[in-house]
Chain A
């Protein structure tokens, strides 16, 4: 039952997200676009809640489940950012990315699995994963700003994009990464005796955290050198993707406690 309802919910939320991104491109339909995106957020919220109840555990264990949250947060951020900055491209991008992640989940259906191994049965589980995914969503949007700035000289259009737009997302996202790292450390201390064991996922999370730290320092010291900072921001995003999705393919990570 859950499987069928995910297909329906997934397809309808993808449709809503795509429609809202499309409508945003038309000047007349921006208000409905925002409402449709809000509707998609609502549907995803309801779905995540039902899933949580049906699984009798937080739906945060598998990659597919984290992708669902990522899509949810991107859609939510698109609405929040719209109210804050009114950037058309940002709204469209966030909704398209959210749609993409829900589509990936639709194409890779995972079996319903209620099991949660003892090490995951912790109060830290939910805050640790949620702040990370929220941080990832924010920094994913910031990465788009970086890419736009890098390719600006090659595209003829005079893009009105400044790295300043990314800064607040990076600060927020970085703060979430910091919290995720700390919650993870607290959890590790109660689960296996030490707050830091250089588990491959920890190592990559630390690399990611430090790359954003470098970005923040470059921005702080050289606010006018957007080019160097934009490259750093893009590189940091690559590290973050390795940490989140690439880690399971690394030979050094085969014994990680974080492979799922």
Chain B
């Protein structure tokens, strides 16, 4: 690092590495700008062939020309750092600029993960990381940490990028009592799917309604307090005020002066409250949350406060369904968020519902995802977990002995 030498004379160091990374970035940006198209994502089996060719090129180059100064440089720490830095810069751009899958390609940094600079940065990092792993390939005990970490991250990055073209994601909207197999991709195109879903029942459960306090001067909902209205006859206090709840309705509608139980779309949480402060006359009235069909009601008190009903918070979304596949298998199950079910290589998720109808929604939306590269990704992640455990025990070791 300290020796002064003209740039581009071997061995290449940080100057050359960062110049290369900058060149890669500019080349990617240039192609993106001139071509105005996003990168193509090769699908099965072309992506596998490309990946195998890539691995072959890395291995053969390292084995045949391992002493070539450029090849040596590709497996050096400066090249690695420049590749990680380039990837970090792209991530920073993604971190600061709002990303949109549907952004036009010539808006250079609005959809980076499908851009040419991202593709080039991936190839660069996979090359330096791959070259290093091959050069230092050894299963000796003191090399285990290195192998787990480097091979693990290489597998994850390679499978994620080469496998991206094989990922299929569709949403499927099913009405209660119906069966559906026409799904929609993220661009809104419809597809006939090899899986059909029949919806028997859709349920939403909510947490107990919560009341909060709106500060009319600052125009904010105060973080505190928050009252959970679990039952009627509860009493809360805040500052000098006392709130007495005498009625709580979980599905109500304003009729004239009062709220009545109504089991219909648009019905809201409502509560009858009496607010007292010291000896002043109590304030009484209904508060309710807003829905797409119902206005909110609040109860003003003090100089600048209003008691408001907060929007309901969902606790559980559940669909009772039967899944039919082309092969003739049939699975009946209850699907909830965070517990997808796997059928014939498809993972099926509880995805959404008709939000305007709320808990009266008779529509449930499912997401179907197929990612055949997932086992490779998980293998890489398992290696990385092994590497992390290895780091707990041994650290990574520096080159103290050589310096």
Contacts and interface: CB of A to CB of B under 8 A. Distances in A.
B223 A111 contact: yes
A25 B96 CA distance: 43
Interface of A: 108-119, 121-122, 167-168, 171-172, 174-176, 178-179, 182, 185-186, 189-196, 198, 200, 203-204, 206-207, 210-211, 213-214, 216-225, 242, 250-252, 254
B142 interface: no
Interface string B372-403: 00100100010011011101100111111001
A200 B384 contact: no
Nearest to A221: B77
Given A118-B314, A218-B81, A178 B387 contact: yes
Contacts of A113: 210, 226
A168 B396 CA distance: 9
Interface in B318-374: 336-340, 347, 349, 367, 369, 371, 374
B345 to A, nearest CB: 14
Contacts of A110: 223-224
How many B residues touch the partner, as a band?
35 or more
Interface of B: 1, 77-78, 80-81, 84-85, 87-88, 91-92, 94-99, 113, 160, 167, 169, 207, 210, 212, 223-226, 228, 313-317, 336-340, 347, 349, 367, 369, 371, 374, 377, 381, 384-385, 387-389, 391-392, 395-400, 403
24 contacts: A114-B207, A115-B207, A115-B313, A116-B315, A118-B314, A121-B337, A172-B391, A178-B385, A179-B388, A182-B384, A182-B385, A189-B347, A189-B374, A191-B338, A193-B349, A195-B374, A210-B88, A214-B84, A220-B397, A220-B399, A221-B77, A221-B399, A223-B400, A250-B95
Given A167-B395, A211-B88, A118 B315 contact: yes
Given A114-B207, A250-B96, A168 B395 contact: yes
Main secondary structure on B side of the interface with A: mixed
B91 A119 contact: no
B391 A175 contact: yes
A219 B349 contact: no
Contacts of B349: 192-193
Given A111-B226, A194-B369, 20 more contacts: A109-B223, A112-B226, A115-B207, A116-B315, A117-B314, A119-B337, A167-B398, A171-B396, A190-B340, A193-B347, A193-B367, A206-B91, A211-B88, A214-B81, A217-B81, A220-B77, A220-B396, A220-B398, A221-B78, A252-B99
Contacts of B95: 200, 203-204, 207, 242, 250, 252
B389 to A, nearest CB: 7
Contact of A210 (B87, B339, B384): B87
A46 B19 CA distance: 55
Given A115-B207, A203-B95, A217-B77, A175 B313 contact: no
A182 B381 contact: yes
Nearest to A113: B226
B11 to A, nearest CB: 13
Contacts of A192: 349, 367
Nearest to A232: B81
Contacts of B385: 178-179, 182
A203 B384 contact: no
A185 B92 contact: no
Contacts of B317: 118
B388 A178 contact: yes
A192 B317 CA distance: 14
Nearest to B392: A175
B268 to A, nearest CB: 18
B98 A190 contact: no
B338 A121 contact: yes
A186 B381 CA distance: 9
A190 B339 contact: yes
